[in-house]
Amino acid sequence: MMKNKQELYKVLKNGLGFLFFLTVLLLTFEKGLAWLVRQSDSGKTGKINLIMAHKIDPEILFMGSSVAEVGFNPKLISQQLNKSTYNAAIDGTTIIQSQFVINEFLSYSQNCEEIVIGLAFFSFGDKDSMTEPSRYLAHFSNKYTKRTIRNISPNLYYKLQYVPFYSFTQVKHTYYKNAVLGLKNIISGKQLQADKLNGFMPHNTPWNGERIDSTQFGNSTAPLSELTIADYGDIISQIKQQGIEPILVITPMFINGQKLFRNYDKYIKTVEDLALRNQIKLYDFSKSAIVNDAANFYNNGHLNSNGSHLFSSQVADSLEYLSPNNQ
């Protein structure tokens, strides 16, 4: 009987020891993987890493989702204004979902004068989920990242915070790809740095001549959530408190695309009210000549390279014309 107890005790001891070893191994792998991902300067993950590591501090920062990412050409605007610029917009992600990036940037920026926020018809929709966790989970320990995830997706936050190794269920192959790229940067001694286009991701795709249905963008009513609009107001206030000027830009949308939404005019009015209420500048390109030519777009909502060139030049003109020296 005593021998059986000793054997059972030995089995339990060995089992617990193995479990402890496995836990430490997985924890080390999880933390080490996240550290490697943070060393990558590739794609969307790279954009986030650059700001979280305080590697960029332009005079003009562009924020928004895909319409801003493919629309604002920072190099062109920089050349026209003789100011440093960076496009920190991330496709599929509104500034509500990437608020942690803005918070981190505001915490260290010494050079930024203006943050330009590119808006589209979907910008004011309800936000109850985070886009592509693989892009930012390496920064989950950051207080701003935690706050943003908790505010938008509490369920995800609590699982990441309290369920061991839950992060492994949320990442895609791109997370591991960025870990490899980060390792390569370490081995080569390469430091995190902005890409040659400063975050701009142009599309050289021409218009295919086909009609794009509104179902590609969700539905025929532009979402206008009061809670989301209030969140934009809070972000604008935070930017102003740091002595940086927030500027709203209604990005161009092909005229036929605008007609697919029965409340598109109400969306424009919502942006106008937001700018007026917060006493900030608004540049509205919804009626620009750009929107009348399909050759400037690769679908109803996104500019191609030709359109972005025209748009960015006009944005630079607006910023230059309304600068303190020209008012």
The confidence score (pLDDT) of residue 324 equals: 40
pLDDT at 322 over 60: no
Please give, one letter per residue, the 3-state secondary structure of the chain.
CHHHHHHHHHHHHHHHHHHHHHHHHHHHHHHHHHHHHCCCCCHHHHHHHHHHCCCCCCCEEEECCHHHHCCCCHHHHHHHHCCCEEECCECCECCCCCHHHHHHHHHHCCCCCEEEEEECCCCCCCCCCCCCHHHCHHHCCCHHHHHHHHHHCHHHHHHHHHCCCHHHHCCCHHHHHHHHHHHHHHHHCCCCCCCCCCCCCCCCCCCCCCCCCHHHHCCCCCCCCHHHHHHHHHHHHHHHHCCCEEEEEECCCCHHHHCCCCCHHHHHHHHHHHHHHHCCEEEECCCCHHHHCHHHEEECCEECHHHHHHHHHHHHHHHHHCCCCCC
The confidence score (pLDDT) of residue 11 equals: 64
- Which of 116-120, 301-305, 306-310, 323-327 is the least confident region? 323-327
Whether residue 25 is contained in a domain is answered as no
Average pLDDT value for residue range 39-64 = 96
Whether residue 24 is contained in a domain is answered as no
Whether residue 109 is contained in a domain is answered as yes
Encode pLDDT of 193-229 as tens digits: 999 999 999 988 877 655 555 445 445 889 999 999 9
Averaged pLDDT score across all residues of the chain: 90
The confidence score (pLDDT) of residue 325 equals: 38
Whether residue 72 is contained in a domain is answered as yes
pLDDT at 163 over 60: yes
The residue ranking higher by pLDDT, 326 or 137, is: 137
Whether residue 308 is contained in a domain is answered as yes
The confidence score (pLDDT) of residue 208 equals: 63
Domain count, the chain: 1
pLDDT at 46 over 80: yes
Whether residue 30 is contained in a domain is answered as no
Average pLDDT value for residue range 233-261 = 95
- Domain span holding position 123: 38-321
Whether residue 286 is contained in a domain is answered as yes
Question: Can you give the CATH number for the domain in which 216 is found?
Answer: 3.40.50.1110
Whether residue 230 is contained in a domain is answered as yes
